[in-house]
Amino acid sequence: MTPSTLAIHGVHVAGTGLIGTSIGMALGRIGVEVTLADRDERVLAEAIGMGAGRPRTDDDRHPDVVIAATPPGRVVEVLSRAAQLWPDATLTHVASVQSQTQIDALDAGVPASRLVGGHPMAGREVSGPRGGRADLFDDRAWVVCPAPGCDLARVDQVRELARICGSRPLDMSVDDHDAAVAVVSHAPQVLASVLAGRLVDASDDVVALAGQGFRDMTRIAGSNPDLWAEILRWNAPSVGAVITGVADDLRQLVDALDASADPEGVNDLLVRGVLGQSRIPGKHGGRDGVYEVISVMVKDEPGQLASLFVAAGDLGVNLEDVRIEHVLGRPSGLIDLSVAPQVADSLRAGLTRQGFDVRS
């Protein structure tokens, strides 16, 4: 019989990459005892150096929770061993695909009563322990996917773990989770790769015309192909469904363009894009597009950005976002400052008064 609440005194993190290290750092903030393991000793040493925890010793009491923060392909092996070593520990992981991980874990004998999948929706473009941050998960969603028949107290415990790390725990079934990440994470990766792939055999003229929009759309195409192939294969059913839907839409667009039989078809597809985009949550829970953008041209030299931001700070204006648009081959850049609409005019006036080259 599992008690109705389970404490989190000790946590063992297996796999000390970016996510494992960050979890250790986050838990350490409130004094949770964190032990660490990684099969790469150099990586483990770096995580320890970041303050994520310490290696286990023979004297350590059993952990309350074990977190497999390894690549997805090794989660089941880690949890199987942990299940045997520590018969009372709650077993969780951070895999970006939940359904296959759960199936394989149960097949391997990991007890359903102790298995609670988890997926913190946080990441960075850098990897490895040195990218670790104690607040990586702050205010992010942390999806919690209990195995069927899991002890409710253990589900609560993993929710609490997410909260300690600063996250908002969000209960989902493994299938709902996998369908959601297929849309918001896996399909974008595929589209970025396919779009960037157009350049492989393109002429230099085509490449020369690629601008900021193309760069934004293909930024993530540079990600690790082996890791992503693994993720896509694990989430094949959901990714397949989303990508098939996208391919169908594209065929329909081509037909609409081709036949001119469906003059509204092209508009309809673009309007759906506007509607879908408007649902994306922006900064601070708001929507994209609620800020006003003020553009300022500055020289591409040390101190130029500083003087601009000092001026904005002196005017008491908070910059909600900053984008720098560079121009090929020239030593200047256009800085787009996003600010709350009610302060836009005073910022514009203030910067102009101080001699800044305000463009809009």
Give, as ranges, the residues between 116 and 145 that touch its own copies (CB under 8 A): 121, 124-126, 130-131, 133, 135, 138-141, 143
> Considering the rule CB under 8 A, would residue 281 count as an interface residue with its own copies?
yes
- In the structure encoding, which two tokens stand for residue 246, read together? 């996208």
Site for its own copies in 186-215 (CB under 8 A): 187-200, 202-203, 205-211, 213-215
d(CA 186, CA 132): 23
> Considering the rule CB under 8 A, would residue 275 count as an interface residue with its own copies?
yes
> Closest approach of Cβ 349 to its own copies, in Å?
15
Three-state SS across 191-241?
HHHHHHHCCCCCCHHHHHCCCHHHHHHHHHHHCCHHHHHHHHHHCHHHHHH
> Considering the rule CB under 8 A, would residue 31 count as an interface residue with its own copies?
no
> Considering the rule CB under 8 A, would residue 262 count as an interface residue with its own copies?
no
> Considering the rule CB under 8 A, would residue 284 count as an interface residue with its own copies?
yes
CA–centroid distance for 264 within its chain: 36
> Closest approach of Cβ 258 to its own copies, in Å?
6
Q: What is the DSSP string of 63-99?
A: PSEEEE-S-GGGHHHHHHHHHHH-TT-EEEE--S--H
Q: Are the CB atoms for 325 and 334 separated by under 8 Å?
A: yes
d(CA 198, CA 336): 30
> Closest approach of Cβ 205 to its own copies, in Å?
6
> Considering the rule CB under 8 A, would residue 261 count as an interface residue with its own copies?
no
> Considering the rule CB under 8 A, would residue 340 count as an interface residue with its own copies?
no
Instruction: State how far the alpha carbon of 106 is from the alpha carbons of 117, 122, 176, 328, 342, in Å.
Output: 12, 26, 19, 55, 56
Give the range of 7-15, 71-79, 151-159, 261-269 binding its own copies by CB under 8 A: 261-269
Q: Is 333 helix (H, G, I), strand (E, B) or coil?
A: strand
> Considering the rule CB under 8 A, would residue 345 count as an interface residue with its own copies?
no
> Considering the rule CB under 8 A, would residue 290 count as an interface residue with its own copies?
no
> Considering the rule CB under 8 A, would residue 344 count as an interface residue with its own copies?
no
d(CA 173, CA 98): 9
Count of residues touching its own copies (by CB under 8 A): 137
Whose CA is closest to 177, among 92, 109, 120? 120
- In the structure encoding, which two tokens stand for residue 252, read together? 């329909």
Q: Which of 106, 153, 266, 344 binds its own copies (CB under 8 A)?
A: 266
Q: Which of 71, 74, 228, 340 binds its own copies (CB under 8 A)?
A: 228
Q: Which residues contact 295 (CB under 8 A, 6 or more apart)?
A: 334, 335, 336, 337, 358, 359, 360
> Considering the rule CB under 8 A, would residue 293 count as an interface residue with its own copies?
yes
Phi first, then psi: give them for residue 139, nearest 5 degrees.
65, 10
Give the range of 33-41, 62-70, 146-154, 313-321 binding its own copies by CB under 8 A: 313-321
Site for its own copies in 67-106 (CB under 8 A): none
> Closest approach of Cβ 342 to its own copies, in Å?
14
> Considering the rule CB under 8 A, would residue 346 count as an interface residue with its own copies?
no
> Closest approach of Cβ 189 to its own copies, in Å?
8
Give the range of 27-35, 55-63, 67-75, 169-177 binding its own copies by CB under 8 A: 169-177
Phi first, then psi: give them for residue 177, nearest 5 degrees.
-60, -50
> Considering the rule CB under 8 A, would residue 274 count as an interface residue with its own copies?
yes
Choice between 40 and 300, CB closer to its own copies: 300
d(CA 57, CA 64): 16
CB atoms within 10 A of CB 342: 8
Q: Which of 105, 155, 317, 351 binds its own copies (CB under 8 A)?
A: 317
> Considering the rule CB under 8 A, would residue 217 count as an interface residue with its own copies?
yes
